[in-house]
Chains A and B, each alone.
Chain A
Amino acid sequence: MRALRVIFYCCLLYALPAHALTQADLAPLVGDDFDAKLTLVDKLGESDDKAAKTVLQALSDGNLSASSSGQVVLSQGDTYVDAATGAPVTVNAADLQDVVVNNRMHRHLDSALAGLSLFDADAKIRLAAAQQLAGHADAEFLPVIVKAVKREQDPKIKKLLLQSQAMILLDSTDAAQRKEAAQILGGSDSPKVRASLAERIDKNAQGSAIETDPAVRQAIVKAIAKIDSSMAMAEYLARIFSGISLGSVLMLAALGLAITYGLMGVINMAHGEFLMIGAYATYAVQGVFRHFFPVQLDWYLPAALPVAFIVTFLVGVILERSVIRWLYGRPLESLLATWGLSLILIQAVRTIFGPQNVEVANPGWMSGGWEVIPNLILPYNRMVIIGFSLGVLLIVWLILTRTRLGLFVRGVTQNRKMADCLGVPTSRVDTLTFGFGAGIAGLGGVALSQIGNVGPELGQSYIVDSFMVVVLGGVGQLAGTVAGGFGLGIVNKFLEPWIGAVLAKIIVLIFIIAFIQKRPQGMFAMKGRTVDN
């Protein structure tokens, strides 16, 4: 029966009149005979006529109406044109009745439109059509697809079309055709294809296998394995990528922490709040751009970087001058006092911006992603963040190793008294370094605002993790912080899909405890001969 229908449509394809579309062709659209309407839709779908496409599109969008005299017209805003010829017509709007489309027709419409687009001159439209067809190819489309495959030059589109063809042929009565289809489908990487393949070798309700031919079964099993391995590869890479992007954020958060602890022996629990302030600064800059320079809105992000850095730098300097400098060498107390500061900062932000999360949008050039291989899309915003973190890291490294301030910082970290005796203005170095560390966290906040929620508790959720980075990496060591950050990020993301985010956190914690059994000073211990107390 199905074969008959296919033959019928094939005949239609060639029997279709070469003459332009007329009102008489559209007559079935008026009235309630849905079978006639369906036939017309399918017929139009096979035609090469531009007008046919317009009619189908209008039908799909619900812009087609019929006058009481049976004329089918297309509404274009306030004016109407003849659906068949495109000539403007004057009709009484009250006289018109919408052409009714039911669900079944919608499905046919979509596919018919897709089929038409397969022959479009624009490769992009053809690709989109091929992708749509791959989703739900019905046997009715086999002739169109066969025709399109023959004509298609673009390898990517051709592959898609071949797969759609194979999907249809999987239901073929010819075992050889089914086997070939399965082999073609093995080159696919779509979970949908995998599902329909798996369906074929599954048992049906009666308990007997759908696919009875052993050779075809084998081919299907092989194809599934092939799809699985290509999907696993993509997932594996995606996991590494998201691990790296999490790690780069952790690294930004932990950098300032590690530097200030190494330099001043102060554990800054309010460090997470610098991230939060940086993110809110981004939000504020976005608001300013929205209000004053709506045209350049996409460029608010670069403008937010200096703002966030300066704001957090200033907050850091104020905190250092007022509170933290009195806590040097008393790390346990510094822990409590900075926790108090973080409470105050959080509550202050709540008072100013409200307790709800605020909305920070990705600029246009950061949305979307790059499809490296099928099933692996790397979002631009995460790529930008990784690049950005590495850039910040480079700057920090340059400052620490190539500038006078950096020399002072390293000197004071190694031996505060000696540096003091040699004329290093230690207290100014402390203030600047603390502000600098806060500023880096502020930059991290800008990055975070692009990938997560911005709310008053933003910093709290990162503080435990960034401390873990410091513990793992060792104090006052750039290399340790980098390795700790990326290591933790990747391990976290790898464990998550298997055992869930919570257990992953717990396992990471146990791992860290086990790790510092072996190396209490972290991965990169500072060399020295000092013994504390």
Chain B
Amino acid sequence: MDMLKKLYGPTGWAAILVALVVMLVMVPVMALLVPKTSAFHLSAYTVTLFGKYLCYGIVALAMGLAWGYGGILSLGHGLFFSLGGYMFGMYLMRMIGGLGQYGSNLPDFMVFLDWKTYPWWWWGTDHLAYVLLMVVLVPGVLAFVFGWFAFRSRIKGVYFSIITQALTYAAMLLFFRNETGFGGNNGFTDFKFIAGFPVAAASTRAGLFAITGLVLIVALLACRFIVLSKFGRVLTAIRDAETRVMFCGYNPLPYKLAVWVFSAVLCGIAGALYVPQVGIINPSEMSPANSIEIAIWAAVGGRGTLLGPIIGAGIVNAAKSWFTMSFPEYWLYLLGLIFVLVTLFLPQGVMGLLNRWKRT
């Protein structure tokens, strides 16, 4: 009980409760039970779109934790997101079974490459539990190994950012190749079933949406817990003055590494939730541009907060959806401007604006 009190005040908890009710009850009801003719009906498209935003919200939260509290600006978070997505995508590909274009038990792209069996790294991917484990483990282990080497030699700041960017770039090139066994350019798509439910059905979509929402809330609480704990305090101190913290007798390595790995795992989970809703995963998700966009979500929402990045992800992506539909050629101008203006004039992001407005 003390724990709960410590995490959020009464208003905070009330807000979270409302969010939970909206996501777990209202959206499914409006999507499934309200008749199509009603103004309150949510189409499957809308549900999927908002589900996508929630996934981005989880990623932005992970970014906000690592960057806002750990001072670790990763330009490679898209890699962990995609890895989670690919891991879950493997499961979804297995679930297509013989329903592919060629009627083979193998995915179409393997038939195309004239492969006769699944390569070894596809082992076990037809079991949901194993895949869920991999969704956590693969990004986690990669982040651990990479982070351990990077933080151990005290690579930080822009150096770290640039190297993470190179990392996701290299991974993108790797996944573009057909021999890597992940569908090359086209990636995975044409999913049919998830745990026995048809992927495209409105009820499955609503269910996935609810699960994503739940994961987001749990992740938010977990991050809040981390940030408020002693661990979080040391982490923030490392962000502000790493050398001084070292002089005080702390070794920054475990702190940075832990928050880095946790952040990567969150991204992986978000990716796994993203793929069945959007219905496709391909290597362009790993492009450096995508990863750097994640950073701007966090910056727009406000660094040094947890709620901010989630809001930022929503704002930027809603703007993106709208612009790419209405004025596709101007979207990049706007995105570029967001990058410039937010860094110049809104270092605290939207949350900073809100706080200033609250104070006056």
Contact = CB atoms under 8 A, between A and B. Distances in A.
B166 A509 contact: yes
Given A331-B158, A467-B162, A344 B333 contact: yes
Nearest to B153: A517
A467 B153 contact: no
A516 B73 contact: no
Contacts of A467: 162, 165-166
Given A336-B292, A533-B242, A517 B149 contact: yes
B177 A351 contact: no
Interface string B144-161: 001001101111011101
A520 B159 CA distance: 9
Nearest to A470: B162
Interface in B221-259: 240-244
A326 interface: yes
B196 interface: no
Contacts of B158: 261, 267, 331-332, 335
Contacts of A323: 340, 344
A326 B242 contact: no
B243 A533 contact: yes
Contact of B339 (A267, A339, A514): A339
Given A261-B158, A348-B333, A532-B243, 6 more contacts: A339-B339, A344-B333, A344-B336, A513-B149, A514-B149, A531-B243
A509 B344 contact: no
B350 interface: no
B161 A506 contact: no
Interface in A301-351: 323, 326-327, 331-337, 339-344, 346-348, 350-351
B242 A516 contact: no
Contacts of B146: 513
Contacts of A517: 149, 152-153
A471 B243 CA distance: 21
A317 to B, nearest CB: 17
Interface of B: 67, 73, 75, 146, 149-150, 152-155, 157-159, 161-163, 165-167, 169-170, 173-174, 176-177, 240-244, 288-289, 292, 295-296, 299, 329, 332-333, 335-340, 342-344, 347
28 contacts: A327-B344, A333-B343, A334-B343, A335-B73, A336-B296, A337-B340, A337-B344, A340-B296, A340-B340, A341-B339, A344-B337, A347-B336, A350-B329, A351-B329, A464-B169, A468-B162, A502-B176, A505-B173, A506-B173, A509-B163, A513-B146, A513-B149, A516-B153, A520-B153, A520-B155, A531-B243, A533-B242, A533-B244
Contacts of A327: 343-344
Nearest to B340: A340
A509 B347 contact: no
B161 A335 contact: yes
A512 interface: yes
Contacts of A261: 158
Contact of B336 (A326, A341, A506): A341
Contacts of B166: 464, 467-468, 509, 512
B162 A267 contact: yes
Nearest to A340: B339
Given A513-B150, A517-B153, A340 B335 contact: yes
Nearest to B159: A471
Interface in A249-274: 261, 267, 269
Given A517-B149, A517-B153, A533-B242, A344 B343 contact: no
A2 to B, nearest CB: 44
A520 B166 CA distance: 17
Contacts of B167: 509
B332 A516 contact: no
A261 B167 CA distance: 21
A468 B337 CA distance: 27
B173 A502 contact: yes
B163 A513 contact: yes
Contacts of B244: 533
Interface of A: 261, 267, 269, 323, 326-327, 331-337, 339-344, 346-348, 350-351, 460, 464, 467-468, 471, 501-503, 505-506, 509, 512-514, 516-518, 520, 531-533
Given A336-B296, A516-B153, A517-B149, A346 B332 contact: yes
A502 B146 CA distance: 19
Nearest to A326: B344
Contacts, number: 122
A517 B145 CA distance: 13
B338 A340 contact: yes
B9 to A, nearest CB: 31
Contacts of B162: 267, 467-468, 471
Nearest to A266: B158
A225 B167 CA distance: 42
Contact of A340 (B154, B241, B336): B336
User: Which 9 pairs of residues, A with B, have the shortest CB-CB distance?
Assistant: A340-B339, A344-B336, A343-B336, A347-B332, A337-B343, A340-B336, A340-B340, A502-B173, A333-B343
Contacts of A351: 329
A514 B153 CA distance: 10
A344 B332 contact: yes
Contacts of B338: 340
A261 B158 CA distance: 10
Contact of A464 (B288, B296, B337): B288
A310 B344 CA distance: 27
A406 to B, nearest CB: 25
A342 B67 CA distance: 22
B184 to A, nearest CB: 12
Contacts of A344: 332-333, 336-337, 340
B37 to A, nearest CB: 42
A331 B157 contact: yes
B1 to A, nearest CB: 39
A333 to B, nearest CB: 4
A285 B337 CA distance: 30
Contacts of A532: 243
Given A336-B299, A340-B335, A520-B153, A464 B340 contact: no
B314 to A, nearest CB: 19
Contacts of B336: 340-344, 347
A516 B156 CA distance: 11
A518 B157 CA distance: 18
For A334, A337, A509, the residue with the greatest tally of chain B CB atoms inside 10 Å of its CB is: A337
B295 A333 contact: no
A520 B154 contact: yes
Contacts of B177: 502
A132 to B, nearest CB: 40
B309 to A, nearest CB: 14
For B176, B296, B332, the residue with the greatest tally of chain A CB atoms inside 10 Å of its CB is: B332
Contacts of B159: 471, 516, 520
B340 A332 contact: no
A343 B332 contact: yes
Nearest to B163: A513
Contacts of A336: 292, 295-296, 299, 339, 342-343
A509 to B, nearest CB: 5
A168 B241 CA distance: 79
A333 B75 CA distance: 12
Nearest to B73: A332
Nearest to A343: B336
